[in-house]
Structure 1
Amino acid sequence: MVEPTAPPLFVPSIVFSLVALLCISIVVILILRHFLPLRSTPAYLLVPVFFALWLPASMVLLVPIDLASSAMVDDLDARGIWLPARALKVSWRINYWLTFALTWFILPILGEYSDSGYREAKAKLVDSLRANAQYYAIVFGSGVLGFVYVLWSYGHFSTSLKSTIIALAYCWGLVLVIYLMGHGLVSIPRRLFRSANISGRLRRIQSQAPRAYEKMTEAEMDLEDLELQIGELSRRKGGSVSLFEDWVEELVDMVNLPESQPGRDSIIRGTGDRSPLPNVITEKYLAELTRRFLRARHARARYVSEWNRLLEDAVRTQAILDSAASKKLEFGKASPAAGFCGRFALLTPYTRYLLHYRLVPYLQTGLAIVLSLASICIVWSEVVKGILPQLSVIRYSVVHHNVADKGQVGPAGQAIAALWMMYMCAAALISITEVKVWRGRALVRRNTAPESAFWYASQVARLSVPLTYNFMTFLGLVYKDTVFYRFLGVLIDLTPLGEWFDYLFPAFILVPVCATLFGLYGRVRRAVGFGIEVLDHEDEDDGGAGPARSWREGRDLIERELNGASAAIRARRAGGPRAAPILSIPRAPAASARADGPTTPFGTSPSAGFSSHPAASHSRRHQANTSARRTALPDADDDDDDETFFESLGHRMRNTFDTLETPRWLADLGQGIPKPKWMAGNNNNNNNNGHNGAGRSQGQGQSQGGGGLGGGADIRRWFGGGRGEGRIRL
């Protein structure tokens, strides 16, 4: 490596690096602001999470600089952005050990600390250490075995200890990187391909609606059960509860229960059992109750956010699809949650139609093709780097010049290396949001739970170093001249087992790639059963044959929600009327529906489907109503499932004749002509026929409220109207 002779030569590189780090800091702050309320979030949460995101992002900058600074280049100006070896060594040490401490100690402890239900800080810390004791026992147990192997293989104590720590952390992180990145390399292009089809995108949104609504309803019910349990606890007086009055009052304040609540001393809604409150209230019980309540509240916020986002996507996608008729696209008023750019309408309705309906699908398809080729290159490089490293495609895209078997990395190679790393990071990190994890962790806009924020930040930090070093191994012998290899790589390759693991294990990326590409997750779930779910988008991967119900069911559910419970979204969208409105086509109501009661605008009785509010009652926690009346969509794929004109006409004629009733006047002919009322006089015996005939018709006409002939008889019964029905049959 050629050292610079004059310090001013790398001053522009230092300035560029500082500006780049400042830009990375701004991006990280914006990401935190998107998922967390910055003003109300405590510092013990913001600061570690900030560094857990900032340090991995800075590695995307350090790797190209290290490659250009360490390669053998005769012309210093051709290096691009470079720094002295000493500065790079200090940067890598600070970056690695801070990331290591955050990953294995700081973030896990703080995560359990924030999830603890205790009130005092000391009790929270003790509970966090107790929760992490099993995790640390497994880590240290594996570390002891690895240390014995490295010490026996190398024979030097100090190097063996540091090598064991670094190698074990790297191997565990590499296992996660290979699995998550393999899934993401297929998932990202597939999403873009499917999003390019507008009608298919709308159908997938609709197929996800029933499951999303059920999760939201269940979260509402679980939270209400805990609120009622806290309400019962607050009504207990004396005994062990008196020792924790302040704690119980804090819980009541968080629940916001009314002061006068009807007594519910025996049954907790949704369980049907006796009150689960123990006879003796302990500190451990209150801590567990507080933890469950906080988790239930964040779960409710998560599923409500997912449902609202699904409704927004459905309305927006439907508006794009409807714009094909009028060549104009209006999204209506901007959502309060929209970003800065989304609040200003810079395009006309016609240009917006051209952009979203014509141009964006082609851009998504083109980007999907490019990313598909990039995924193929990454998978190919992972497979061949241990056997034939000279066939790595990524190597030739970054190292453009070879001199005496040594590579040179210029500014173009640095930019391409940064792009490769960003795509690999995106493929790994996007899979974290799709993999099902315990405790229902999720990233929610402006309302992410503290424990979830710590957990996701720890995963980002854990994956950064293995992914960085794994990328550098694509470059052949060039990476062995870098400062990062002399700091980390020599310790990983200290033993033959570590070197072979680093070269051969990445070939297993074919397992998650094939599993995602061919829908193996959905097939395993259907074969095994038990409601096993691995990925959020698993139903998309296996062609929609998973537990998600029919897209028609989701379509009806979304329309019902937009017309009922989600009136705010409907009012906000009312600012831009749709050019091709969806027309509801009602079908003939079934006899059972007429007998049960009045029908809703969708043709079902109010008790047949979902309640207007998710938390209405546990008795209404149904599955999505499959008998809801369908609403026609301008989708050509639906023509095969609908009735033809002649079939529909035949069914309507058959229903007309099957439900035809004999007119009352025709049925009375067989019983003789009744005596008129004016001839009956005051004889009660002769009034029976009159009451059975015209008198009864008169009562019907008056009860039905319609104008009648002959003393109030309803003329509608002459056309087949039955008693009490109040409608005309044609």
Structure 2
Amino acid sequence: MIQLAISQSPLGSEIFALLALIAISIVVLLIQRYYLPLRSTPAFLLVPIFFALWLPASIVLLVPIDLASSATTDDVDARGIWLEPGTLRVSWRITYWLTFSLTWFILPVLAEYSDSGYRDPQDKLRDSLRANAQYYAIVFGSAALGLIYVLISYGGFSTSLKSTVMALAYCWGLILAIYLMGHGLVAIPRRLFRNANISGRLRRIHTQAVRVYEQMDDAELNLGDLEQLVGELSRRKTGSAAHFQDWIEELVDMTNLPECQPRSTIPRNTDPSRQLPTVITEKFMADLTRRLMRAKHARSRYVNEWNLLLQDAVKTQAILDSAASKKLDFGAASPHAGFWDKLNIFTPYTRYLFHYHAAPYLHIAFGSLLTLASICILWSEVVKGLLPSFSIIRYTVVHHWSGEKGQVGFAGQVIAALWMVYMCAAALISITEVKVWRGRALVRRNTAHESAFWYASQVARLSVPLSYNFMTFLGPNIYNKTVFYDFLGQLINLTPLGEWFDYLFPAFILLPVCATLFGLYGKVKRVFGFGVDVLDDMDDNENESAYGTGSWREGRDLIERELNGTSAAIRGRRAVVAGGGPRAAPILSGPRGGVGAGGRDGSPMTPLGASPNARPAANTSARRAGVGSSSSRAANLTEPEDENFFEALGHRFKNTIDTMDTPKWFQELGQGIKKPKWMGGGDDNGSSNGSSDSRPQAPGRGNSDVRRWFGGSEGRIRL
């Protein structure tokens, strides 16, 4: 058996690893294509972002291979994918140092370079280095403190210089990774549980609509102010502005003022800080360019969020309304939709069964599974330092035990990769939810270059700490034998500070977990008034009763007005987005006749981003006759818990009575009894009907028409 194991060649494992890397490369390219237009994006942006995403994904593949190579099974058939120690060492060196260089040097410089407003590449590079000076001062200051600590502890830098640099980078990445992963371990299962309730999901969409709509309007107003400033700047033809005429013309082309709004309708900016200076300098032009680019991307971001929210609202309402007809049809997909959106394998009835009955149970089942996984990760984080044998993850990965020796097979490799994917997903999803990152966001096919660099750097920064943190779940007798520990782990544990930090700090994951679980972010924001924009879904339903303060009713009315085409802002936004440049999101094509599938006149509604002839959601809320009416709110399927049948019937009677016009004879009661005409009574016009109505009578019609008693005029009876 030993001779057979020695003679076995890793050729099959090398081929498998190569095919896996090719598959990872294809996935990374698809991710880049989803968020960035590949043809128009410069190569200096695509290549670093590709490696910043590809290297962390390869680490997820490299860790299980390292485990199986160091803890090989005695059974050759159960052995997983393994490589030679020399090959693993070279792979770890290349992966780690490329990730280190991208995280700390390449991506920050390129991010500020792409965000700089200067035109010349040398000026952009100098501006980028100047903007990163504070960042590098903090980095090198921390490194200097670490070097002083190592110098006092060991009295030299023989092997400790490199270990200090690697340990400091690991500790900073671990702090960020633990916080973000703790938030995501709660947020992901909770989102699945909440999405299982269809009516509750629609309620949360309505609640979010107010915030997204206000942010979108603020972004449009900010962009309008900057466009006004560029328009005023373009009128200057003399003085210092004459030296920057080409630059000013480029800014005018970026704004597309003639296509957006008439200048008379753009609000005049009264903020003194935004007035044009007397002398136009290069620094002012660069600052104006940067602000204009950020404003355009911010507008694109919130328009994209608003359109996605409208699509979710229409789809969710269609699912709710399909309970009556037992059929569900979302209509034709948009030409800009993805492959999965265009894929149509269900009939209307089977689609109704899946979305209305099967999907909620799948959400609950998958949420329960991820909840159990989150509990296992939290438990393993807490006990790995003192009681490593009680780690649950350890026994899910190491299946073969020979005394105290653990062995990892192919099944253990697959499970280890799944654990790492979930941990990384929890951390990365939290980056997009906890919005404290200077307005950066990922927008489909229109992500700002600086935002793309920043998110890629966070992915690269979190990969190594999370990978090594996962390996510590398996116990010292497992991970101490790996090449990864020999390359990085022993350098981290070289000093007592690094060893205690690696074992004790991950227990602080309970802080972000409790903060997310009990809604601490929203409570801190309400108590202290901090402007922290954390998506804490626990606070979504606390503000539902107050209309006009971001309640779900106000959000529902905003969505209905937008779908009906009656929103005043929709025309301006449609003109602004359609003025020029690539679209950030599908644009509503025009006013619609009603909410959902049909309007008040029975005309179908055009889907978001689809052609006018395509049939949209056939089961949306077409029963609502108007926006804001109490009767339509009573009949809305999204609020079944608000009122029962008798309350709704009473509201209908009350609304009918309130909207009736009072008859004229009833209005004139209490004005006194007027004398007839033969007794000298009557009005100035000689009317004998005892009223003040001076309208001309129709020919051949007497003044004693009984229909006038009911408020009728010209032959109509008003009920």
TM-score range, shorter chain: 0.7 to 0.9
What one-letter code is carried by the residue in structure 2 that aligns with 1:97? W
Q: Structure 2 unaligned segments of length 5 or more: list them.
A: 571-587, 593-604, 609-613
Alignment of 1:545 with 2:542, yes or no, is yes
Q: Deviations over 1:443-491 (max 9, x none)?
A: 0000000000000000000000000000000000200100000000011
Query: Which range moved further: 707-716 or 83-92?
Result: 707-716
* Number of the residue aligned with 1:444: 443
1:583 equivalent in structure 2: 623
Asked if 1:718 corresponds to 2:704, the answer is no
Superposed CA RMSD in Å reads 3.3
Q: Which residue of 1 aligns with 2:581?
A: none
Supply the distance in 2 between the matched residues of 1:484 and 1:251 (Cα, whole angstroms): 51
1:555 and 2:562 matched: no
- 1:515 maps to 515
The residue type equivalent to 2:414 in the other structure is A
What does residue 174 of structure 1 align with? 174
The answer (yes or no) to whether the contact 1:664–1:717 under 8 Å persists in 2 is: no
**Alpha-carbon distance in 2 for matches of 1:713, 1:285:** 79
Q: Give the deviation of 1:248 after TM superposition.
A: 0.3
Q: CA deviation at 1:250?
A: 0.6
C-alpha separation in 1, matches of 2:178 and 2:14: 34
Q: Kindly indicate whether the alpha-carbon contact (under 8 Å) linking 1:663 and 1:717 is maintained by their aligned counterparts in 2.
A: no
- Cα distance in 2 between the residues matched to 1:275 and 1:13: 62
Residue number among 617, 624, 635 corresponding to 1:632 in the alignment? 635
- The one-letter amino acid of 2:539's match is D
TM-score with structure 2 setting the length: 0.87
Decide whether the 8 Å contact of 1:319 with 1:578 is kept in 2.
yes
- In structure 2, the residue matched to 1:613 is none
**TM-aligned CA deviation for residue 273 of structure 1:** 6.4
Q: Which letter does structure 2 place at the counterpart of 1:433?
A: T
Secondary structure at the aligned position of 1:407 is classed as: strand
Q: Name which of structure 1's ranges 514-523 and 644-653 shifts more when overlaid on structure 2.
A: 644-653
Q: For residues 187 and 263 of structure 2, what CA distance do their matches in structure 1 show?
A: 52
Contact 2:223 2:296 (8 Å CA) reproduced: yes
Aligned equivalents of 2:89, 2:704: Cα separation in 1:
100
> Which residue is equivalent to 2:16?
16
C-alpha distance in structure 1 between counterparts of 2:189 and 2:667, whole Å = 69
SS in 2 for 1:583: coil
The amino acid across from 1:416 in the alignment is I
Task: Return the offset for 1:544.
Answer: 2.8
Deviations 1:366-412 (A, max 9, x none): 11111100000000000000110110000011111222422100001
User: How big is the shift at 1:413?
Assistant: 0.5
CA distance in structure 2 between the aligned counterparts of 1:215 and 1:544, rounded to whole angstroms:
20
2:607 pairs, out of 572, 589, 611, with 572
Distance 2:368 2:688 in 1: 79
Matching residue of 1:370: 369
1:275 deviation in Å?
6.9
1:341 equivalent in structure 2: 340
Equivalents in 1 of 2:632, 2:649: separation in Å? 21
1:73 CA drift (Å): 3.7
Other-structure match for 1:529: 529
* Structure 1 unaligned regions, length at least 5: 586-600, 605-626, 677-684
* Separation in structure 2 between the aligned mates of residue 442 and residue 533 of structure 1, nearest angstrom: 16
Matched length: 674
**Is the contact between residue 177 and residue 428 of structure 1 (CA under 8 Å) also seen in structure 2?**
yes
Aligned partner of 1:224 in structure 2 is 224
Distance of 1:294 and 1:714 partners within structure 2: 70
SS at match of 1:644: helix
CA shift, 1:101, in A, is 0.3
The residue identity in structure 1 corresponding to 2:152 is W
Task: Tell whether 2:685 aligns with 1:690.
Answer: yes
Residues 1:434 and 1:251: Cα distance change in structure 2 (over 3 Å): same
Alignment of 1:645-724 (within 5 A): 647-648=650-651, 651=654, 655=658, 661-662=664-665, 670-674=673-677, 689-691=684-686, 700=695, 710=701, 717-720=708-711
Cα separation, 2, equivalents of 1:260 and 1:118: 25
Equivalent position of 1:33 in the other structure: 33
Q: Name the SS for the 1:62 alignment partner.
A: helix
- Mapped to 2, the partners of 1:630 and 1:122 lie a distance apart of 61
Pair 1:638–1:658, CA change in 2 (3 A): farther
AA at the equivalent of 2:529 = G
Q: What residue number does 1:387 align with?
A: 386
Q: Which amino acid is 2:615 matched to?
A: G
Letter in 2 for 1:544: N
Q: Deviations over 1:66-117 (max 9, x none)?
A: 0000115444443210000000000000000000000000000000000000
TM-score (norm 1): 0.85
Letter of the aligned partner of 1:319 in structure 2? A
Identity %: 63
Instruction: Mark the CA change 1:233 to 1:576 in structure 2 (over 3 Å): closer, same or farther.
Output: closer
SS at match of 2:542: coil
Per mean C-alpha deviation after superposition, the further-off stretch among 194-203 and 540-549 is 540-549
**Secondary structure class of the residue paired with 2:132:** helix
Which residue pairs with 2:578 in the alignment?
A: none
Counterparts of 1:110 and 1:642 in 2: how far apart (Å)? 62
Report if aligned partners of 2:322, 2:328 keep a CA contact under 8 Å in 1.
yes
One-letter identity of the residue aligned with 2:258:
P
Residue aligning to 1:456: 455
Q: Distance in 2 between matches of 1:320 and 1:649?
A: 26
1:344-386 CA distances to partner (integer Å, 9 max, x unpaired)?
4221111111111111111111111111000000000000001
The residue matched to 1:158 in structure 2 has which SS? coil
CA distance in 1, matches of 2:260, 2:367: 59
1:602 paired residue among 612, 622, 627: 627
User: Compared with structure 1, are the counterparts of its residues 712 and 523 closer, same or farther at alpha carbon in structure 2 (3 Å cutoff)?
Assistant: same
In structure 2, C-alpha distance between the alignment counterparts of 1:227 and 1:420, rounded to whole Å: 49
Q: 1:552 to 1:65 in 2, by over 3 A?
A: same
1:262-293 residue CA offsets vs partner (Å, 9 max, x unmatched):
7779x953547697111111111111110000
Q: d(CA) in 2 for partners of 1:543 and 1:131?
A: 38
- Whether the aligned pair in 1 keeps the contact of 2:624 and 2:636 (CA below 8 Å) is no
2:418 equivalent in structure 1: 419
Please report how far the alpha carbon of residue 727 of structure 1 lies from its aligned counterpart in structure 2 after TM superposition.
8.5
Counterpart of 1:620 in structure 2 is none
| Cα pair distance change 1:250/1:578, threshold 3 Å | same
- Could you tell me how far apart the structure 1 residues matched to 2:699 and 2:226 are? 58
